[in-house]
């Protein structure tokens, strides 16, 4: 046990899995509770969406500064501070007495999550060299897969048998244990010369990403031509353009955009963007389809979605073994083609189709996504120096968040455009299955676009992740054990 704890690889793996699972579970559990929160606070479903939007916008605002904070003050200190903020904010969300209080505390929670995720990923990639990442990915996959799969189930159980407040209280014991464990066993790690705080970069990135995220979340509901969506979207994009110009001209920018010049990192990011948009969009759509169009319960919908996680977990073990022989390019491309075919299959599910068909399709989608997740995680940082790992992890986290928002926004727009309800000949309003089917087909197309980009991933650049051995780097920053 002592040797286990003394090894930073084990310590960071435990911390990363527990906190990322906590983060992903929180988002999906809260989504299940939205209808209950709407009734609890006596507001419309549109108004209660502020609970989700406030959190996601806060994530987008604080993610860009995470890399600089971790390099400047140490990844251990920043990670534990952000985890503490997330845990305290979770408790405050549980005791909130009004919608305004809940939204405020969700913004605080988003700030903690926005800092915690990239810094945790930076610790992970700095600790595990490229040749070990495919192996460790078999374990770490639980953090990104089980959360979205188990969230609807746990949320349904909590809502049915406890109180909505426990949707937030469940974070507290895990957060407290992780903070105490990390404070005792994590080593500090910081870059000697992190530079001064880039105030223009922070203001432009935070406001630009925040406004863009808000527009993506609201566009499908309010309409893309509405004044609030159009104005925030255009201003957000303009600020992001200004952010790129300013950062490229700054000697020591907060966000090192020149990392996008690394062809392996850039190509992996592009594949992940489209793959995540198609997959997470479909994952968002399926529970809606089952509940709204077929009348299933939230728990039934969650259980129908869960085979996707089982497919990922099982297939990950196979992908890890064949990765050194096949490489990331063909695995990711083939996996996304399989995902696209299976999502297309969901587009043919009708009112009377057996749920076992849905479960089998979701299992196969998980199997296909394992071919994306594991190679993507292993190869993404293969040619990134340890000094630049913090910045690269931040860019990767922002890309993943924007990809998720883009997928949900795109499919929500399809639903709104086609119409989720239709009128029968006798004037009754019934669910319009065609809207959901069309949205599934669009998600499949997005996944196919990701597969096309995967064919341009340079396997030769990821060679270090495809073999065993020791990689020696001469650009490591200072590591300080405390």
Tell me: the pLDDT tens digits for 284-334? 788 778 877 888 776 787 788 888 888 888 888 888 888 888 888 889 999
C-beta neighbour count of 103 within 10 angstroms: 19
**What does the domain layout of the chain look like in residue ranges?**
2-197+254-480
Q: Contact 313/456 with Cβ under 8 angstroms? A: no
Q: Is the per-residue pLDDT at 56 higher than 70?
A: yes
pLDDT at 194: 58
Q: Is the per-residue pLDDT at 385 higher than 60?
A: yes
Q: Contact 64/253 with Cβ under 8 angstroms? A: no
Q: Which residues contact 185 (CB under 8 A, 6 or more apart)?
A: 5, 11
Q: Which of 343, 373, 368, 369 is nearest to 358 (CA)?
A: 343
Q: Which residues contact 48 (CB under 8 A, 6 or more apart)?
A: 34, 37, 38, 41, 99
pLDDT digits (tens, 9 = 90+) for 131-177: 666 666 666 666 666 666 677 777 777 777 787 888 888 888 888 99
Angle at 66 between CA 64 and CA 70, to 5 degrees: 150
CA 344/CA 440 separation, integer angstroms: 6
> 2-197+254-480, what's its fold?
Growth Hormone; Chain: A; (1.20.1250)
Distance of CA 427 to the CA centre of its chain: 42
Share of the chain above pLDDT 70, in %: 85
Lowest-confidence range among 91-95, 262-266, 386-390, 477-481? 477-481
CA 312/CA 403 separation, integer angstroms: 20
Distance of CA 135 to the CA centre of its chain: 21
Give the model's confidence band at 422: pLDDT under 50 very low, under 70 low, under 90 confident, else very high: confident
Q: What stretch of H or E contains 277?
A: helix 263-288
The mean pLDDT of the chain is: 79
Mind giving me the DSSP string for 154-193? HHHHHHHHS-TTHHHHTHHHHHHHHHHHHHHHPPEE--S-
Write out the two tokens for 420: 């989720």
Confidence (pTM): 0.78
- Rounded average pLDDT over 90-108: 87
């Amino acid at each position: 046990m002592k040797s286990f704890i003394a090894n930073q690889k084990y310590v960071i793996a435990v911390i990363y899995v527990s906190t990322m699972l906590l983060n992903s579970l929180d988002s999906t559990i809260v989504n299940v509770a939205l209808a209950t929160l709407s009734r609890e606070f006596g507001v419309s479903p549109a108004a209660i969406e502020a609970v989700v939007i406030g959190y996601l916008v806060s994530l987008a605002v604080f993610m860009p500064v995470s890399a600089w904070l971790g390099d400047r003050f140490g990844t251990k200190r920043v990670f534990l501070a952000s985890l503490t903020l997330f845990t305290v904010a979770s408790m405050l969300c549980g005791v909130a007495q009004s919608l305004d209080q809940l939204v405020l505390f969700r913004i605080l929670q988003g700030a903690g999550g926005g800092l915690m995720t990239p810094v945790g990923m930076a610790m992970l990639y700095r600790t595990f060299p490229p040749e070990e990442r495919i192996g460790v990915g078999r374990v770490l996959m639980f953090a990104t897969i089980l959360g979205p799969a188990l969230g609807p189930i746990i949320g349904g159980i909590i809502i049915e048998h406890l109180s909505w407040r426990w949707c937030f209280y469940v974070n507290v014991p895990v957060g407290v244990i992780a903070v105490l464990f990390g404070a005792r066993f994590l080593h500090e790690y910081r870059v000697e010369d992190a530079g001064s705080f880039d105030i223009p970069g922070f203001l432009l990135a935070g406001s630009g990403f925040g406004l863009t995220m808000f527009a993506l979340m609201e566009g499908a509901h309010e309409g893309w031509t509405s004044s609030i969506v159009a104005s925030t979207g255009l201003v957000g994009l303009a600020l992001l353009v200004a952010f790129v110009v300013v950062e490229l001209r700054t000697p020591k920018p907060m966000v090192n955009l020149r990392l996008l010049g690394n062809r392996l990192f850039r190509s992996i990011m592009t594949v992940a963007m489209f793959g995540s948009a198609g997959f997470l969009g479909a994952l968002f759509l399926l529970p809606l389809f089952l509940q709204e169009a077929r009348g299933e319960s939230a728990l039934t919908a969650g259980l129908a979605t869960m085979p996707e996680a089982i497919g990922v977990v099982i297939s990950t073990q196979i992908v890890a073994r064949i990765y050194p022989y096949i490489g990331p390019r063909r695995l990711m491309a083939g996996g996304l083609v399989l995902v696209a075919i299976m999502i297309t299959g969901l587009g043919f599910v009708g009112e009377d189709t057996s749920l076992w068909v849905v479960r089998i399709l979701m299992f196969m989608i998980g199997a296909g996504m394992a071919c994306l997740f594991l190679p993507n995680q292993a190869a993404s940082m293969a040619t990134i120096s340890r000094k630049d790992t913090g910045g690269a992890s931040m860019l990767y986290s922002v890309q993943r968040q924007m990809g998720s928002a883009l997928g949900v926004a795109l499919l929500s727009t399809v639903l709104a455009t086609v119409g989720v309800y239709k009128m029968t000949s006798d004037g009754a309003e019934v669910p319009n299955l065609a809207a959901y089917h069309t949205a599934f087909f669009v998600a499949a197309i997005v996944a196919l676009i990701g597969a096309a980009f995967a064919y341009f991933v340079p396997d030769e650049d990821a060679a270090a992740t495809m073999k065993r051995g020791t990689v020696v780097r001469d650009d490591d920053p200072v590591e300080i054990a405390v």
